[in-house]
Amino acid sequence: MQSNRLGWILLAPTLLILFAFGVLPFVYVLWVSFHQWNPFAVDPNMVFNGADNFRKLVFDADFLNSLGVTVMFVFFAVTSELIIGYFLAQAFMREFPGKAIFRTIHTLPLIMAPIIVGSVWKLMMTPSIGIIPHYLENWFGLTVNIGTSPMAAFTTIVIMDIWHWTPLVTLTLIAALVSLPADPFEQAQIDGANKRQIFWHITLPMIAPAVVATVFIRLMDALRTVDEVLMLTGGGPGSATRFVGVHIFKEVFPKTNYGYGSAISVIVLYLTIVSCWLLYVTMLAPRNTQKG
């Protein structure tokens, strides 16, 4: 009994912080989402409008378009980061000249703030001064302008996200690979299993929890991408890179439509939770059932 009481006392500061910065803001946003509210209007009082904000977003073409663009971005970015991160993790498991230097350089993007990443890529992609358009035109004859080409803008943001967050995936998968026992792999090699069979039947099932946790983190981060996009493209050209986070930003700040922006935030949170739950059910739940 004394031990349980001590445990709760030690957990109390963390629980209070989570409640203050997690639960209370969510409850407040949920409350605002059921109101029409412009705090800068002549009459700044909230007006309760029930589920009108949620009904509106179902038929909002801009929101539905931003949701579709976000889903495509999350799919391409997170999938690429997972694949590249795994191969880099396998590479770092081996010794090669310059490994320590390359590993340090590889992790440098993680220490950069998203707004700095967007600024750097903005400079690199500006047609008049950017190094990337310069070499693409001189070496391959390609003219790239993210200000006029929707495909170029979307592709650039995906590549930028891969460059920024692949090191995180690499580090988490290295930790998972290092913790694997050697006996199953040695036994599989004795039995004549090839590399593909070892990966699908031994490596992947054993690192599945780490993979799912990594995808959870990247999925949640990718769904709320705002800073880099605003700095690089501002959500354009047109609506090519108007992700859900950018759409919420433009509804809340330029339009001061706090109630509708809060409703979109609640829906995005719900979709994030459902996506993570489906991923867990698909990859981890069957594995835990077999263990049980």
Residue 286 has pLDDT above 70, yes or no: no
Q: At 146, is the pLDDT very low, low, confident or very high (cuts 50, 70, 90)?
A: very high
Residue 28: per-residue pLDDT: 94
Residue 98 burial class via C-beta count within 10 angstroms: exposed 0-12, middle 13-18, buried 19 and up:
exposed
For the chain, the domains span: 28-291
The per-residue pLDDT for range 191-243, each reduced to its tens digit, is 888 888 888 888 888 998 899 999 999 999 999 899 999 999 999 898 899 99
Helix runs in 50-182, H state only: 52-58, 61-92, 99-107, 114-125, 131-140, 150-178
The pLDDT, as a whole number, for residue 204 is: 87
Superfamily for domain range 28-291:
MetI-like (1.10.3720.10)
Contact in structure between 143 and 137 (CB atoms under 8 Å)? yes
Q: Is the pLDDT of residue 77 over 90?
A: yes
Task: Report how far residue 290's alpha carbon sits from residue 87's, in angstroms, rounded to the nearest whole number.
Answer: 29
pLDDT of residue 291: 59
Q: Mean pLDDT over all residues of the chain? A: 89
Fill in the DSSP letter of residue 47. Answer: E
The radius of gyration of the chain's CA atoms, rounded to the nearest angstrom, is 23
Better-scored residue on pLDDT, 148 or 284? 148
Mean pLDDT of 19-44: 88
Mean of pLDDT values over 168-196: 89
Encode pLDDT of 58-75 as tens digits: 899 999 999 999 999 999
Confidence of residue 160 (pLDDT cuts 50, 70, 90): very high
pLDDT band for position 289 (50/70/90)? low
- For the question of whether the overall pTM of this predicted structure is more than 0.95, the answer is no
40: pLDDT confidence band, cut at 50, 70 and 90?
A: confident
Predicted pLDDT at 288: 57
